[in-house]
Structure 1
Amino acid sequence: MTTWNLIGMKHHVLICNGGSCMRKGGEEVTLAIREEIAMLELDGIVHTTRTRCNGRCQDACVVIVYPEGVWYNGVTPEKARELVRRHLRDGEWLEETITYRYEEKQGLMMTKQSNAPLGISKLCKATGGTKA
């Protein structure tokens, strides 16, 4: 098993490879992101990880970029390549496809342009409540 030295990484990209995302092209999105990173020679500053389900199946395919805490939805291979160029290389977020973004004082916040379902509150689920 490979152990990567992650010193100097500026971005960690989490690519959902859960069931819903895989049915909506998750493998192709993963390959597009990794190919674009290699083509743009960003390997030294961007690390990618395939994840299992991230709990946002309605938003498939989901790609998350840290340390910014930006959750992208509906990512296609074309959008994946654009994400690498604009966000990872140029520092410009793809506002039109963001579901969540991290805010320093509030944590993850849903964006105004997102029409994604809110989902079940983790606090309600833990206490036996219903949808928030």
Structure 2
Amino acid sequence: MTTWNLQETFCHFLICNGGSCMKRQAEEVTEAIRDEIILRGADRQIHTTRTRCNGRCSDACVVIAYPEGIWYKDITPELGRELVRRHAARSRLKERIVYSFEQRFVATGISVAGQDKQGRGLSWGEGECSS
């Protein structure tokens, strides 16, 4: 198994390849993001990982950027390329943010209420991560 040298990495994209995202071009999004990284010569600075379902199926296709913990929704191949360009410039694609983790869990103007791990519904403010 290969172990990547991540010493220069400052951004890690987790690209959802769950069922709903696959129906919304997740394969094409993954390829576009990886192609743009190569095109920009940023393969040592930006890393990608395909994931299974991230639990935000209504927001498909979902891409998560770490270390910021920014969750992006409705990503298309074109927006995937824009994500790479923005993050390479240390910026964000603000109009596509579902929610983000900064010093604590922060709402970005879009409701993200959902269910906790036990299947109970949450209203905003419950179950927040604290710093």
Per the normalisation by structure 1, the TM-score is 0.86
C-alpha deviation, 1:119, in angstroms: 1.6
Q: Which amino acid aligns with 2:113?
A: L
Q: Which amino acid aligns with 2:30?
A: T
Q: Which amino acid aligns with 1:119?
A: G
Partner residue in 1 for 2:126: none
- Cα distance change of structure 1 residues 118 and 130 upon mapping to structure 2, 3 Å threshold: closer
- Cα distance change of structure 1 residues 119 and 36 upon mapping to structure 2, 3 Å threshold: same
1:42-121 aligned within 5 A? 42-86=42-86, 88-104=87-103, 106=104, 108-112=105-109, 114=110, 118-120=113-115
Using the alignment, how far apart are the partners of 1:68 and 1:131 within structure 2?
Answer: 23
Using the alignment, how far apart are the partners of 1:99 and 1:119 within structure 2?
Answer: 12
Contact 2:61–2:73, Cα closer than 8 Å, also in 1: yes
Using the alignment, how far apart are the partners of 1:12 and 1:47 within structure 2?
Answer: 5
User: For each residue in 1:4-39, what CA deviation from the matched residue of structure 2 results, as whole angstroms up to 9, or x when unmatched?
Assistant: 122221111100000000000000000000000000
Q: Which amino acid aligns with 1:97?
A: R
Partner residue in 2 for 1:7: 7
User: For each residue in 1:39-92, what CA deviation from the matched residue of structure 2 results, as whole angstroms up to 9, or x when unmatched?
Assistant: 000001111000000010010000000001110000000100111111x21111
Using the alignment, how far apart are the partners of 1:129 and 1:80 within structure 2?
Answer: 33
Partner residue in 2 for 1:19: 19
Number of equivalent positions = 123
Q: Which runs of 4+ in 1 moved over 2 A?
A: 128-132
Partner residue in 1 for 2:35: 35
Using the alignment, how far apart are the partners of 1:56 and 1:129 within structure 2?
Answer: 16
Structure 1: gaps of 5 or more residues: none
More helix by share: 1
Structure 2: gaps of 5 or more residues: 124-131
